[in-house]
Amino acid sequence: MRNIKLVLEYDGTNYHGWQTQPSLSTIQGSIEDSLAKLTKTSIQIIGAGRTDTGVHAEGQVANFHTDSQIPIVAFQKGLNAILPRDIVVCSATEVPPEFHARFSATSRRYRYTILNREYPSALLRHTGYCFPTKMDVSRTNNLCKILVGKHDFSSFQKAGSDRRNPVCEIYEAYWWKKEPYVYFEIEADAFLRGMVRAITGTVLKYMKCRDADAQILRILDAKDRAAAGMSVPAHGLSLIQVQYNKPAQLSG
């Protein structure tokens, strides 16, 4: 069996997230349907990150096993010819049998895009969240320094999540500005469901408070989702990169 790694880009606007769900349109389901047409067999793919409804990706990674002898380049070109136009295969490579898109990953990086002005964008309404309050990036960066490191992030986990271990290690979390946009990038070894959106919303809520540092610490210590701020909308979020310890590529 060959093990094929895909790097994917997609607009999640019209999908109910990554993971296959009965009678619902999902990214995983669309790719598996296209693979079935290409290979004439049923194939299950594994994604590095289970992005939620409306969340996008620039660097999602997936893998699947197949005994198909289709040339590796044909997986990229063939899938791109079949897939809906809002899902694109950026690359296809053959990787070692033990490579697992999810469990072999050492970190994932997300970016949240904020349109920081008083009026929204008609053209970019699906990829950026309009937030009219003027932002001080140096202030938001100071708040995010508190979150870097290994912590229990229960306060930023979506209610109803079935993940048992709420401890994650954030390697990097920073904000940067390119008028009229403000971007928040965060990289960690793992993420709880809804974690990035909850952190973003909480920082936006407290960034102008005099005791904002104390508030962020209080929220972390509370280990209670009700203690944190509201989650920002899904459409501003994108999975931009997945990192692996060792190069997975054998050929391409």
- Active-site annotation, residues: 52
CA 59/CA 108 separation, integer angstroms: 9
HEC assignment per residue over 3-50 = EEEEEEEECHHHCCCCCCCCCCCCHHHHHHHHHHHHHCCCCCCEECCC
Sequence-ordered list of residues with C-beta below 8 angstroms from that of 143, at least 6 positions apart, any chain: 203, 206, 207, 212, 213, 216
| Other Cβ atoms within 10 Å of 114 Cβ, number | 21
